A and B are shown apart, each in its own frame.
Chain A
Amino acid sequence: MRMPANDNIPRQAVIVADSFNSRFKPITLEKPRCLLPLANKPLIDYCLQHLISNGFHDLIILSRAHGTLIDKHISESRYMDRNELVTIRNKKMNADKCNSLGDAMRELSDEGVLRGPFILVTGDMISNMDMRAAMETHQATKEKDKDAIMTCIFKKVMPGHPTRGLEDDVVVCMNPDTNRLLRFRNANSKRFDYDLELFNNHDVMDFRYDLMNTYVMICEAHVPSRFTDHFDIQDMDSFIKGIIVDEEMCNETIYIHILEHSYAARVSNLRTYASVSHDIINRWTYPVVPDNNSPPEDQYIYRRRGVYLPNSVRPYKAVIHQNTIVGSETTIDRNTNIVDCVIGRKCEIGANVKITNSYIWDEVTIKDDCVIDSAVLCSGATVKQGTTVSAGCILSYDTVVGPNTVLKAGTRVTVAGPRHMRNDSECSNDSEDTRCSDPDNISETDVLGADHWGVIYRSDEDNSSDEEGDMERAEFNRKWYVRHPDCSEFDEISDSSDSTPVPSDPEPDSDVGFYGEVCDSFKAGFAIQKDIDNVLIEVNASKHAYNISVADQLMHSTRALLELCPEIKEFPKYVGYFGPMFIKLAKDRDSQMVILDEIETWALEKSRIPDTQKILHILYNEDVLDESYILEWCDSADDDIQSSIAKFIVWLKEAEEESSESD
């Protein structure tokens, strides 16, 4: 690789892929945090993609726990083969020797892989920032102050914002003229005292509670060796404090760069996991959104109200409300309600299930009649029939709960951990099992259900005395789930100046409004048998007023037509009147499919499946629908619909054969 000798621009990036804490336990007992799926994509992929797109081609990952899993993930991913310039190295550290970021940096310093200034990031970072601006500031600072060793990137985030964890609740004291960081402290006390001495060298100082450390740092090459010089430094915060407070240490300085408009957040705990997921769904992170830049086998279509569906999917029988991602090959049965959720791939979700505000990873099975509220269901988890998973529950990998149980709020279930023995699987599946593993003498069967698999996880309580432990526990016990209406107000405050588009809030209204207008136009037009072209003009006008896409216009029109017709017997009359309009609108395959999909959705929702055949027939007779598209659509339609329209399909096929024969 070409690199001029005196080039001071960082070209290497170091990714710290271990958090050195246990916020995500018990999930992280089995998988490292950076491989957890966030909006159906492993966390570290966001970070790697972001770095590569910012021009970093030499990436060094520092991993500790589950290092081999990260190796595997990197080798399977497509970063290496897409661009041969990119090298990703994974330095696996000894979990016994390396217990903190400080240890990792010391090891990095010994390795000698760094060739110059570099970028230090954590593996759980999500951002759409342009790092060039920050690197330019660093260069400029470096010219003015030779002692500058680091530029930390801070994001402007209002206090109380859900992407701020407890440990991100910091008060920053800086010089606004130079952006030099002067003090940095956690906001865990009622008041903050600053020594008068601090004010002797600076005329103006900014005290800011609206900044959050993104832990993206532009470091000079000798930063790791500073960790070696001061072997007792464990984490980044104490390193920063050490540099800026203790002037004797090395008289070096740290500067900060403030992001005003880009997005940057860390998934440092479950709470931020939830809020960052929500931000991604609401496209604050654009262009880092599910429907953009995803692998070919995992493409999404962005639908209105923040719903992301797989490219290949047929309409579900279920009702999917706003702010939801559904992964590919997931099946959802009828009468199921899904709101504000992320659902992974290959999940099976039964009928009459209600899922709100939850994060469901890959290959999760949820049987019928379950209620899941604000929970995390890791890959392979199963919720048996009739089970209620209450707010804050975590079902780790391959756990089973239920049937017919109510999990108390905040229950964390895992199959990993010291108390669980793999070989007593029969025993744990046995409903007679009375293994009492918790001190309260409550049998886990009572808590987790008869068919449970896994034990209740409790956080280790041995690290109790020190302050760090307190914080850890506070964060662990804090309600991690975020109710979205609460955070929306923070969004408004913090990002009012933001240039990114406002999330989909106004959209539901516009959809409802537009649908109402269409119904009114249709009704009025039909009543006086107005010229159908005039009705179309009216509908087009309201389409522009509500900023509705052509596909949505067609969908709403179809829905309006179906709803307007009181009885199936009357339908030919309506189609006779509205038919010409639909013929004008639905000329190509895609728009035909929109009509057919909408008919299917409507039939499933309103239980009008038996009428489907007649509707299709009439539309076919009026030349609104084309036979080839009906046949194509029918193959993938809902089973019940398929069976109800079987006769019509047979007839269609025959007619087609006949016509081809006659040719």
Chain B
Amino acid sequence: MPPTVLSPGLDDDKSDGEETTVSGLSSGNFRVRRRRSPEFTPVVMAAGCGSQMFELSSDTPKCMLPVANTPMIWFSVNYLISHKFEEIFVVVRRAAKDKIEGYLTSCIRKLEQDVHIEYVCIEDDADLGTADSLRLVAPKTKSDLLVISSDLITKVSLSELANVHRANNAALTALIAPRYSPPSADGRRKRNKKDDRDFIGLDPEDDRILYIANEKDIEEEISIKRGQLARFPHMRLHTNLLDSHLYLVSRTTLNILDNHPDVSMMRCELLPLLVRKQIKQIVNTSYTVFADRLYSKKQDTDEDCKHPEEYFEVLSEVESVGCYVHKTQDFTVRVNQLHNYIKYNKAVSENMDDVIPQNDMTTCDISKMTQVGKCSRIGNSVRIAEKCSFKRSFIGNRVEIGPHCKIVDSVIMDDVRIEDNVSLTNCVVCKDVIIRNKCTLKDSRVCDGFEVAAESEFVGESLVTDSALPNMMTFSICNCGHSSDAEDLSK
């Protein structure tokens, strides 16, 4: 195993709580890297704490929660690797850094590819948003940024998105996709009332973003400014699309970000700011300014007058702000809400089979008397006793299951022990949980380290250890709707 090298001079003494660690990894010898600078520098936002699924993420960082038995950060990192990115920035919380780094390092080693991941740490208690994270990354590269959220799982080809970005000379290009919903029996897609809808207003002519907001940020009404409609009089507002939180961000935007130090969040603050800026900009300004400056320059020093096109480049970067989207029909989900968690586990398992690492069945000990249904996945070193049945369920690593268990539509994470005659339906069981004999759980979540007593029955509950409780309370009063959560889980 090659050693992890801490590069000198970039130690913990940064005042703003930023720590940069460079871990150099290569298949063989350690060598100095000289890469040609890529068009985009990818940044994975993995510092989210999962406020909408806090019951699951009390001990595990959100990006490490398994989706189809795979920590979800792997999907975005693998996505970037498959697009031949060799240097990837990952923004993480300091506490979660070791966990994530350890996991990704082991994964990449298996790939035998020359990929370099640089971790950007955010202090655990720092109140930094995604836009702040961008500020941390921006000085480290000269190219445009590709910002991807660690909870995004998608099959979209990045080149299409990049083409939209290039063609429009955009300040920001976002990827949007139809909200995933499994085709139901009657073929009609139903909206889940629990979903937070993204309201995305586009110019139907060129897919320019004219309005963007999430339902949870809107109080009662959507308001549209007249000035905006006067400039772009036709706006098509979509409510059934998902803002995938995959953005291409140009240097223009990063400059704007520097001029607005109060902007902290990308989606709620930066994006609306850019959308507003499109409306204020005056057409042709860039050109006239260009002519003026060229003229004055000529008078000053005739010889080092820049080539006109260079001038034009520079100024158009400053003057024009355009935000666009690329609409895709390819499979795209964001795993960020509890009620979707089980549903998306199944969907990802079906759609992303080529990406999910295959488990090593030789390490498992599964009784021949046990039935494992088609849509289920079982991790490594799992021991399952006889006469169990699994349907559409995901069993993590090192799980032990006693005889006569029935597990349907459930996700069981690593190191769980389930004793005899347990029935789980539509449940999420987190790490290190012990479920004793003859328990029946339906539509429930069992949080890290909980021990379910023998013969208990729960329907639509969240089972939390006392020690984890205060931790969760910090996620505000989100848990007001437990019963309704449960309803959704049953769907």
Residues of A within 8 A of B (CB): 158-160, 171, 176, 187, 189-196, 199, 202-210
Most buried by B among A160, A187, A196: A196
Residue of B nearest to A207 (CB): B235
Q: Measured between C-beta atoms, what is the minimum distance from B110 to chain A in Å?
A: 42
A158 to B232, CA, bound (A): 10
Does A206 contact B218, Cβ atoms closer than 8 Å?
no
Which residues of chain A have C-beta atoms less than 8 A from B229's C-beta?
Answer: 159, 171, 187, 192, 207, 209
CB < 8 Å neighbour of B233 from A158, A191, A202: A158
State whether B234 touches A196 (Cβ < 8 A).
Answer: no
Q: Tell whether B302 is near chain A: CB-to-CB under 8 Å.
A: no
Contacts of B227 in A (CB 8 A): 190
The answer to whether A204 touches B234, judged by C-beta atoms less than 8 angstroms apart, is no
Q: Check A210–B221 contact: CB distance below 8 A.
A: no
**Interface segment, one of B42-50, B236-244, B472-480:** B236-244
Q: A190-B225, A196-B220 are in contact. Are A202 and B234 (CB under 8 A)?
A: no
Q: Which A residues touch B215, using CB under 8 A?
A: 196
| Besides A159-B230, A171-B229, A209-B226, 9 other A-B contacts (C-beta < 8 A) | A158-B233, A193-B222, A194-B221, A196-B215, A199-B199, A204-B239, A207-B224, A208-B233, A209-B233
Cα of A195 to Cα of B199 in the assembled complex, Å: 13
Contact A160 B230 (CB under 8 A): yes
> Which among A187, A191, A193, A202 has the greatest number of chain B C-beta atoms within 10 A?
A191
Shortest CB distance B483–A (Å): 23
Q: How many residue pairs at the A-B interface have CB separations less than 8 Å?
A: 78
Q: Chain A residue with minimal CB distance to B221?
A: A193
| Complex: A209 Cα to B226 Cα, angstroms | 9
Residue of B nearest to A160 (CB): B230
- Please, which residue of chain A has its CB at the minimum distance from the CB of B210? A207
A192 to B229, CA, bound (A): 10
The answer on a CB contact under 8 Å between B220 and A206 is: no
Known: A159-B229, A187-B229. A204 touches B237 (CB 8 A): yes
Q: Are A191 and B235 in contact (CB under 8 A)?
A: no
A196 in contact with B226 (CB, 8 Å): no
Contacts of A176 in B (CB 8 A): 204, 236
Establish whether residues A191 and B237, one from each chain, have CB atoms under 8 Å apart when the complex forms.
no
Contact partner, B220, options A189, A190, A195, Cβ 8 Å: A195
Note all chain B residues with C-beta closer than 8 A to A205. Answer: 236-237, 239
Select one of B199, B226, B233, B237 contacting A210, CB under 8 A: B233
Check B106 for interface membership: any CB of A closer than 8 A: no
B129 within 8 A of A: no
Which of B215, B227, B229 has the most C-beta atoms of chain A within 10 angstroms of its own C-beta?
A: B229
- Chain B residues contacting A202 (CB-CB under 8 Å) are 239
Across the interface, name the chain B residue whose C-beta is closest to A190.
B226
Cα–Cα distance between A310 and B197 once the two chains are bound (Å): 64
Q: How far is the CA of A206 from the CA of B236 in the complex (A)?
A: 4
B223 lies within 8 A of A196 (CB)? no
Q: Which of A187, A191, A199, A204 contacts B223 (CB 8 A)?
A: A191
Q: Which residues of A contact B240 (CB under 8 A)?
A: 203-204
Binding site for A on B (CB under 8 A): 197, 199, 201, 204, 215, 218, 220-227, 229-230, 233-240
Q: Tell me if A189 and B221 are in contact (CB < 8 A).
A: no
Residue of A nearest to B197 (CB): A199
Q: How far is the CA of A208 from the CA of B202 in the complex (A)?
A: 12
Q: Are A191 and B225 in contact, CB atoms less than 8 angstroms apart?
A: yes
Q: Which residues of the partner chain A approach B225 to less than 8 Å between Cβ atoms?
A: 190-192
Q: Would A192 and B236 be within 8 Å (CB), given that A159-B230, A209-B230 are in contact?
A: no
Contact status of A159 and B233, CB under 8 A, knowing A202-B239, A204-B238 = yes
A208 and B226 within 8 A (CB) = no
Contacts of B234 in A (CB 8 A): 206-210
User: Given A158-B233, A199-B199, A209-B233, do A194 and B223 touch, yes or no (CB 8 Å)?
Assistant: yes
Chain A residues with Cβ below 8 Å from B197 are 199
Shortest CB-to-CB span from A173 to chain B, Å, is 9
**Contact between B201 and A207, CB atoms less than 8 A apart:** yes
Expressed in whole angstroms, the Cα–Cα distance for A192 and B211 within the complex equals 13
Smallest CB–CB gap between B218 and chain A, Å?
6
Which 4 pairs from chain A and chain B are nearest by CB?
Answer: A210-B233, A209-B229, A203-B240, A209-B233
Query: What are 8 inter-chain pairs, A to B, with CB distance below 8 A?
Result: A176-B204, A192-B226, A196-B218, A203-B238, A204-B238, A207-B229, A209-B226, A209-B230
A205 to B234, CA, bound (A): 10
B residues within 8 A CB of A199?
197, 199, 222, 237, 239
CB pair B222 A196 closer than 8 Å:
yes
Across the interface, which residues of B come within 8 angstroms of A191, CB to CB? 223-226
- Which residue in chain A gives the minimum CB-CB distance to B225? A191
With A159-B229, A171-B229, A190-B226 known as contacts, the answer to whether A195 contacts B221 (CB < 8 A) is: yes
Identify which of B226, B235, B240 gathers the most chain A CB atoms within 10 Å of its CB: B226
The 8 Å CB contact of B237, one of A171, A206, A209, is A206
Chain B nearest CB from A391 CB (Å) reads 26
The closest CB in chain B to the CB of A192 belongs to B224
Contact of A204 among B218, B220, B233, B236 (CB under 8 A): B236
Q: How distant is the Cα of A52 from the Cα of B226 in the complex, in angstroms? A: 39
**A208 near B222: Cβ-Cβ < 8 Å:** no
Q: Is the Cβ of A194 less than 8 Å from the Cβ of B226? A: no
Question: Do A194 and B222 contact each other (CB < 8 Å), given the known contacts A187-B229, A199-B199, A208-B234?
Answer: yes
Instruction: Please report the C-alpha to C-alpha distance between residue A199 and residue B227 in the assembled complex, in whole angstroms.
Output: 22
CB distance from B181 to the nearest CB of A (A): 12
Within the assembled complex, what's the spacing in Å between the Cα atoms of A171 and B224? 10
* A196 with B221: CB separation less than 8 A: yes
For the complex, give the distance between the alpha carbons of A210 and B197 in Å: 27
What residues on B are CB-neighbors of A206 within 8 Å?
A: 204, 234-237
A186 to chain B, nearest CB (A): 11
Nearest opposing residue in chain B for A199, CB measure: B239
In the complex, the answer to whether B233 meets A192 with C-beta atoms within 8 Å is no
- What are the residues of chain A within 8 A of B233 when measuring CB–CB? 158-159, 208-210
Tell me whether A207 and B237 are in contact in the complex, defined as CB-CB below 8 angstroms, given that A159-B229, A192-B226, A199-B199 are known contacts. yes
Beta-carbon nearest neighbor of A195 in chain B? B221
Residues in A neighbouring B226, C-beta threshold 8 A = 171, 187, 189-192, 209
Smallest CB separation, A297 vs chain B (Å): 44
CA distance in complex: A349, B201 (Å): 57
Query: A189 contacts which chain B residues (CB < 8 A)?
Result: 226
Point out the residues of chain B lying under 8 angstroms from A208, CB to CB. Answer: 233-235
Q: In this complex, what residue of A is CB-closest to B193?
A: A200
Q: In whole angstroms, what is the CA distance A189 to B218 when docked? A: 20
A171: chain B residues within 8 A (beta carbon): 224, 226, 229
User: Which residues of chain B have C-beta atoms less than 8 A from A160's C-beta?
Assistant: 230
Contact A203 B239 (CB under 8 A): yes
Give every chain A residue within 8 A of B230 (Cβ-Cβ). Answer: 159-160, 209
Q: A196 — which chain B residues lie within 8 A by C-beta?
A: 215, 218, 220-222
Taking the nearest CB of chain B, how far is it from the CB of A33, in angstroms? 29
B187 to chain A, nearest CB (A): 16
A198 nearest in chain B by CB position: B222
Residues of A within 8 A of B235 (CB): 206-208
Q: Which residue of chain A lies nearest to B178 when distances are taken between CB atoms in the complex?
A: A203
In the complex, A194→B201 CA distance in Å?
13
A171 to B227, CA, bound (A): 12
The residue on A at minimum CB distance from B238 is A204
Instruction: Give complex CA distance A195, B222 in Å.
Output: 6
Q: Which residues of B contact A210 (CB under 8 A)?
A: 233-234
Which B residues are in CB contact (< 8 Å) with A209?
226, 229-230, 233-234
- A441 to B201 Cα, complex, angstroms: 57
Contacts of B238 in A (CB 8 A): 203-204
In angstroms, Cα B199 to Cα A25, docked, is 46
